[in-house]
């Protein structure tokens, strides 16, 4: 599953804590999905999504749980496969990973309309850039845990990690990688993409034909290297409609990320690969 969203401003009150704590996540659909509580009563699963610009709530989840009155807007949200009309909603609170957000705005969309890969269902919402940028965001894929910290994580006091720089383009985390040991590419890191995706142009350069294939390896630094990466070949025109100048060869999703422990440091525009 993959979705890319148009940037939208938001306002929220964030409960101030130095360490938001650890939370398990559910990897069963290839996404980083964690338990949340909305308005103190409603339980759901939201995706921790570095590919999303802000906080989103799925339309069906919002309607079923009567989360509030929505207001029509004049824009649409675009994913890699489709688009959805968007509405604004105000939430009293959102709690996840020992963190609490109060009096927050969210955008209600039909998440299933944004991806072809909706056969196994979609998250109840997405936690994107406007929330995540406040934290060091760690996802431990092998142990299925996430950790959000406002202060510097302990591991940065040692030397058992590798720094990988990235460029923040709007809310997109753009990373320079090497494909199959020799081919340079520029890809977006996305915790909530169930598959690694490449453009038809990159597929042609790497000898992949058809809709799906396998790359020998993708490396983002020496530590973040994954062999035998399954990929989907997808035209990125829908993304480029919203960001026409975006230089992108693909998206680093679960089929690349699964062996690694990775922390995103938005403040310094670095990714840390560590144990």
> How many of the other CB atoms lie within 10 Å of CB of 75?
11
Q: Quick check: 252 pLDDT over 90?
A: yes
The whole-number pLDDT of residue 4 equals 35
The whole-number pLDDT of residue 72 equals 66
Q: Which fold has domain 13-149?
A: Cathepsin D, subunit A; domain 1 (2.40.70)
Q: Which fold has domain 154-274?
A: Cathepsin D, subunit A; domain 1 (2.40.70)
Q: Quick check: 113 pLDDT over 90?
A: no
The whole-number pLDDT of residue 63 equals 92
Least confident range of 95-99, 216-220, 259-263: 95-99
User: Span 32-51, mean pLDDT?
Assistant: 95
Q: Which residue intervals of the chain bear CATH 2.40.70.10?
A: 13-149, 154-274
- Provide the whole-model pTM: 0.86
Long-range contacts of 264-269 (CB under 8 A, 24+ apart): 264/50, 264/132, 264/136, 264/137, 264/138, 264/173, 264/189, 265/136, 266/132, 266/133, 266/134, 266/135, 266/137, 266/168, 269/165, 269/166, 269/167, 269/168
For the stretch 182-240, pLDDT in tens is 999 999 999 988 899 999 999 999 999 999 999 999 999 899 999 999 999 998 766 76
- pLDDT > 90 fraction of the chain, expressed in percent and rounded: 64
For the stretch 63-83, pLDDT in tens is 999 997 666 666 677 666 667
The whole-number pLDDT of residue 28 equals 85
């Amino acid at each position: 599953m993959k979705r890319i969203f148009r940037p939208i401003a938001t306002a929220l009150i964030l409960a101030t804590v130095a360490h938001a704590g650890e939370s398990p996540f559910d990897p069963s659909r290839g996404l980083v999905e964690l338990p949340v509580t909305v308005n103190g009563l409603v339980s759901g699963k939201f995706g921790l999504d570095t590919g999303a610009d802000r906080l989103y709530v799925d339309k069906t989840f919002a309607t079923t749980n009567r989360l509030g009155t929505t207001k029509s807007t004049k824009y649409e949200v675009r994913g890699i496969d489709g688009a959805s009309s968007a509405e604004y909603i105000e939430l009293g609170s959102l709690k996840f990973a020992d963190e609490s957000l109060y009096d927050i705005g969210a955008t209600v969309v039909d998440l299933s309309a944004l991806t072809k890969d909706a056969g196994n269902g979609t998250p109840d919402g997405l936690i994107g850039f406007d929330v995540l940028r406040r934290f060091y965001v760690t996802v431990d894929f092998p142990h299925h845990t996430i950790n959000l910290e406002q202060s510097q994580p302990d591991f940065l006091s040692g030397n058992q990690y590798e720094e990988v720089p990235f460029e923040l383009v709007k809310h997109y985390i753009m990373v320079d990688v090497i494909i199959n040991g020799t081919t340079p590419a520029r890809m977006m890191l996305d915790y909530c993409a169930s598959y690694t995706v490449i453009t038809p142009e990159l597929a042609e350069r790497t000898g992949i034909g058809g809709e799906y294939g396998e790359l020998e390896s993708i490396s983002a630094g020496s530590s973040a290297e994954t062999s035998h990466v399954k990929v989907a070949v997808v035209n990125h025109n829908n993304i480029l409609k919203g960001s026409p100048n975006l230089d992108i060869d693909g998206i680093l999703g679960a089929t690349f990320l699964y062996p690694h422990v990775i922390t995103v440091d938005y403040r310094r525009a670095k990714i840390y690969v560590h144990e």
